[in-house]
Amino acid sequence: MEGVRSLNREIQLIKRPKTVPTHEHLSIIEAESLQPQEGELLVELLYVSVDPYMRGRMNDAKSYVAPFQLNEAISGGVVAQVIESKAEQFTTGDIVTGSLPWREKAITSADSVRKVDPTLGSITTSLGILGMPGLTAYFGLIDIGKPKEGETLVVSGAAGAVGSTVVQLGKLFGCRVVGIAGSDEKTNYITNELGADAAINYKTENVAKALQSACPSGVDIYFDNVGGEIADSVYPLLNKFARITQCGAIASYNVPNDQGPRIQMHLIKSSATIKGFVVGDYQERFKEGFEHLSAWLKDGKLTYEETIHEGFENIPDAFFGLFKGNNTGKQLVKIADPQ
Amino acid sequence: MEGVRSLNREIQLIKRPKTVPTHEHLSIIEAESLQPQEGELLVELLYVSVDPYMRGRMNDAKSYVAPFQLNEAISGGVVAQVIESKAEQFTTGDIVTGSLPWREKAITSADSVRKVDPTLGSITTSLGILGMPGLTAYFGLIDIGKPKEGETLVVSGAAGAVGSTVVQLGKLFGCRVVGIAGSDEKTNYITNELGADAAINYKTENVAKALQSACPSGVDIYFDNVGGEIADSVYPLLNKFARITQCGAIASYNVPNDQGPRIQMHLIKSSATIKGFVVGDYQERFKEGFEHLSAWLKDGKLTYEETIHEGFENIPDAFFGLFKGNNTGKQLVKIADPQ
């Protein structure tokens, strides 16, 4: 039997960005919908997650995830609904999450998605606080930051999906928490909603001075999502045996050969540790993280925010917006309502 | 009773260097010799150790050791002989080591020096392979580098007192070892005498290319004594979960606000760790390190080199020479023969 064709669209990488990604690098293209084979599902996208790390996959360079191929669909975290199942563990109507192509209706192997339990909260949390960003915050803070009561934790990108969770976890572990973000709306959110002890607007304040006054006992843990000049301001304040979780470096993603002050002497002076963090390294412990995060969320000890755009055709703009700091909390694009 | 005066000299810091230290920053000044009080020793310097870390103490800035005071004697690692003892645990003629002022005849509290056992080897080893540099190599490699058989270890400053020991320890632990140094004489020493698998002359070779061919399986451990452009060339080669011991950064010591490529993305890509290393952090384990190093030295599994200048008045030039890469192995200055 021939594949059933129906109108379908996907978003392809058509040119590799050297600096800031724009519409010249991504294109919405008509695509085929095929029927699922044995062990496969036909799913319809409901929500797409756009994430800063995806910028790295647009380069043609070795990294911790393979680069996207030119003239193929971008793929990333999504929530989708099963339209047709050829796998016994799923039935039509199931909500699933996984890394799938940005394609309105897509075929996926049943093994590469997992069912979302809608009783745990909004299905979008599987892309946020109960998904990759939440697990990133959990393992990056617990395993590298090793927070102890009374220590000072600085978080950059503190209003984002990962940062906002780190701020709250830091408070749960008894730290003094200082968040850095790019607007007064975000710094208010960080102190008022997330419970940070202080927040710094890096666009309007002198970060080095503001950090000095917000961290009178120095910095024990730095959860770094951004790198760049903000990180430069943190290094001189590191306490003896400080720990830095290098989770992201969004300030450098679009700057080829980004230069800055060398940091080795800061590390020696404070016997500090920086560790590059990739959540995939913790796959074997995801269950532990998921259980803790679900319990805290259920008990009201964690909260989250989402910035949701609507419409498949608006995915590129939502992605570009990450590099302008447009989002508070998790940036999602809603494609369709579940049936 | 009045102090007995006799001709004596000391070396003072008279001006803080902003970049490269020169004779305008240090001065040889006539000093008093006083008699030791109860619990003190009068000692005569035999050997002085000049070390790169001392440059940091010449700045008036917070670091892991307090800054030197202006118009006071520099102090550092020395071997000395007891001339007069007012402490029961020492007698005239004993050889001692510790951190003492650069003063020909000095008074010290008996508690702040330890006796050197001349049967373990030359008394100068207490400033080198059986002293601070040896312990630095041992703990920096074992505790942070965590060498495993078959891994690739890159060592910068590999012909120096610390680096030459790291190269040999790396071979003892079954690593492929690649040393970097600044002359063909040194690279020959590194491969022929220390047993490294390859050595790179950073003054005549393209370090990035040479490293690529010397490290066909990437870099698992980087023991970094220098920072700067050499470190820049190592970061892109880091393997997954690589470890960097940041022991020194001599390339930056004399360069205010030294700039270079930002390194955060390299750390993320390879889930790598950099840890700032200061040997003093391991004080409680010195005995363990000393025992291992002594045993390996006795068994002929470790060797060492010394570059020895002569004469108290030549200490400053020996110190300045560290930043020109003049020394192979431990740089010492001999002041007097033991009586």
| Residues of chain A contacting B, Cβ within 8 Å | 56, 62-64, 224, 227-228, 231, 240, 246-249, 252-253, 257-278, 281
Chain A residues whose beta carbon lies within 8 Å of the beta carbon of residue B276: 264, 266-273
Q: What are the CA-CA distances from residue A188 to residues A53, A182, A199, B115, B212 (Å)? A: 26, 11, 8, 61, 49
User: Which of these, A23, A31, A24, A28, lies nearest to A12 by C-alpha position?
Assistant: A28
Chain B residues whose beta carbon lies within 8 Å of the beta carbon of residue A247: 268
Q: Establish whether domains B9-128+305-334 and B132-281 are of one fold.
A: no
Task: Say which CATH superfamily domain A9-127+305-334 falls into.
Answer: Medium-chain alcohol dehydrogenases, catalytic domain (3.90.180.10)
Q: Which residue in B has a C-alpha nearest to residue A247's C-alpha?
A: B268
User: Which of these, B157, B168, B140, B80, lies nearest to B282 by C-alpha position?
Assistant: B140
* Whole-complex ipTM: 0.92
Q: Which residues contact B58 (CB under 8 A, 6 or more apart)?
A: B13, B16, B17, B21, B25, B67, B68
User: Which of these, B257, B271, B274, B267, lies nearest to A252 by C-alpha position?
Assistant: B267
pLDDT of residue B326: 87
CA distance B146 to chain A (A): 15
Measured between alpha carbons, how far is A100 from A85 in angstroms, rounded to an integer?
Answer: 16
pLDDT in tens, chain A (339 residues): 344 445 799 999 999 999 999 999 999 999 987 899 999 999 999 999 999 999 999 998 766 678 999 999 999 999 999 999 999 999 999 999 999 999 999 999 999 999 998 888 899 999 999 999 999 999 999 999 999 999 999 999 999 999 999 999 999 999 999 999 999 999 999 999 999 999 999 999 999 999 999 999 999 999 999 999 999 999 999 999 999 999 999 999 888 889 999 999 999 999 999 999 999 999 999 999 999 999 999 999 999 999 999 999 999 999 999 999 888 999 999 999 998
The CATH number of B9-128+305-334 is 3.90.180.10
φ, ψ at B58 (rounded to 5°): -85, -15
CB contact under 8 A, B259 and A263: no
Domain map (residue ranges) of chain A = 9-127+305-334, 132-281
How many beta-carbon pairs under 8 angstroms link A with B? Answer: 119
Residue among A262, A266, A273 minimizing CB distance to B260: A262
CATH 3.40.50.2000 corresponds to the domain B132-281: no
- Provide the terminal-to-terminal Cα distance of chain A, rounded to the nearest Å: 27
CB contact under 8 A, B228 and A262: yes
Q: Are A101 and A75 in contact (CB under 8 A)?
A: yes
Cα Rg for chain B, rounded, in angstroms? Answer: 21
Q: Are A178 and A246 in contact (CB under 8 A)?
A: no
Interface with A, mutate which of B243, B265, B270, B273 (most A CBs under 10 A): B265
Residues of chain B where predicted confidence (pLDDT) is lower than 70: 1-6, 62-64
CB contact under 8 A, A278 and B258: no
Residue among A62, A271, A278 minimizing CB distance to B276: A271
CB contact under 8 A, A268 and B252: no
| Residues of chain B contacting A, Cβ within 8 Å | 56, 62-64, 224, 227-228, 231, 240, 246-249, 252-253, 257-278, 281
Q: Which residues contact B288 (CB under 8 A, 6 or more apart)?
A: none
CB contact under 8 A, A252 and B262: yes
CB contact under 8 A, B273 and A275: yes
